[in-house]
Amino acid sequence: MTVSPTAERPSLRSQRLNQITNEPHTQLDALVKAHAPFETQANFARFVVAQYLFQSELVTLYNDPELIKIIPDLAERCRAQAAKLDLGDLDTDIPAPVAGALKHPSTAEALGWLFVSEGSKLGAAFLIKRAVGLGLSETFGARHLGEPVGGRAEGWKRFTRTLDGLAFSAEEEAAVEKGAIDAFVRFTVLLEQAYASAPELA
Ligand code: HEM
């Protein structure tokens, strides 16, 4: 994901989204690591709180009939339940919702958010390996980072192929990009909130 800011605008929508989110992704990656999520289970649990909050804000999108017409397996892709079970495994309370969740996005904007949520499953392949060091796995504590049914790479390819095949107006193009950027901003807010509300971190 090293893209020069002066690079040409790629022809594929998914690649354009990759390009415009490269910087926020790098920043978020650094922020995640700054909280040392793999140092202790307690630190990791705060990361799961952020993941749960983010995923639970997207449940409506993952179950939206209009979006499911575009991405038929969308509902199965949702990880809110997995993150909730992880919180239980980690003896962590379900957090209260945080003000400012996404509301009634347009289809294109929603797809920008889903791009980020689905894309984060790629990074999860690296994260779960580290979680194993804490005694966690895709069946305990780190379920939401697990390999999706049908495979990580395959699931991502199917998602981006569909996204790239949609005919968008200029407004919709702007909306999908706004959605992707906003999703990174939101995850950052939720991550900070999750660590700020940690009950007893060393
Ligand atoms: C909420 C959104 C996201 C979060 C919290 C997130 C988090 C992370 C973190 C922490 C890593 C580093 C893993 C490691 O080095 O051990 C990573 C890597 C990665 N992420 Fe994300 N990510 C998000 C969204 C995305 C999106 C939208 C994409 C693709 C479009 C993506 C693709 C990748 C890839 C391919 C890697 C592997 C290393 C790299 O190329 O940088 N992620 N992610």
Question: Hey, CA dihedral for 190, 196, 200, 202, is it positive or negative?
Answer: positive
Q: How buried is residue 152: exposed, middle or buried, by Cβ count under 10 Å (0-12/13-18/19+)?
A: middle
Ligand 1 center–CA 26 separation, angstroms = 8
Question: Given this model, what pLDDT does residue 199 score?
Answer: 73
| Ligand 1 surroundings by CB, under 6 angstroms | 1, 18, 21, 25, 28-29, 32, 116, 119-120, 122-123, 126-127, 187
CA distance 83 to 174: 31
Question: Given this model, what pLDDT does residue 166 score?
Answer: 98
Among 197, 159, 172, 185, CA closest to 62: 159
**Residue 200 pLDDT > 70:** no
Among 35, 16, 37, 23, CA closest to 124: 37
For atom 30 of ligand 1, which residue has the closest CA? 119
Residue of 21, 29, 113, 195 to test ligand 1 pocket, by largest number of atoms within 8 Å of CB? 29
Beta bridge partners of 12: none
Beta bridge partners of 140: 137
Mean pLDDT of the chain: 95
For atom 19 of ligand 1, which residue has the closest CA? 123
**Residue 202 pLDDT > 50:** no
For atom 42 of ligand 1, which residue has the closest CA? 120
pLDDT range class, residue 53, cuts 50, 70, 90: very high
Q: Please give the model's pTM, rounded to 2 decimal places.
A: 0.94
Question: Given this model, what pLDDT does residue 165 score?
Answer: 98
Ligand 1 center–CA 98 separation, angstroms = 23
Q: State pLDDT tens for residues 89-134.
A: 999 999 999 999 999 999 999 999 999 999 999 999 999 999 999 9
Q: State pLDDT tens for residues 126-174.
A: 999 999 999 999 999 999 999 998 999 999 999 999 999 999 999 999 9
Domains of the chain listed by start with CATH number:
13-196 (1.20.910.10)
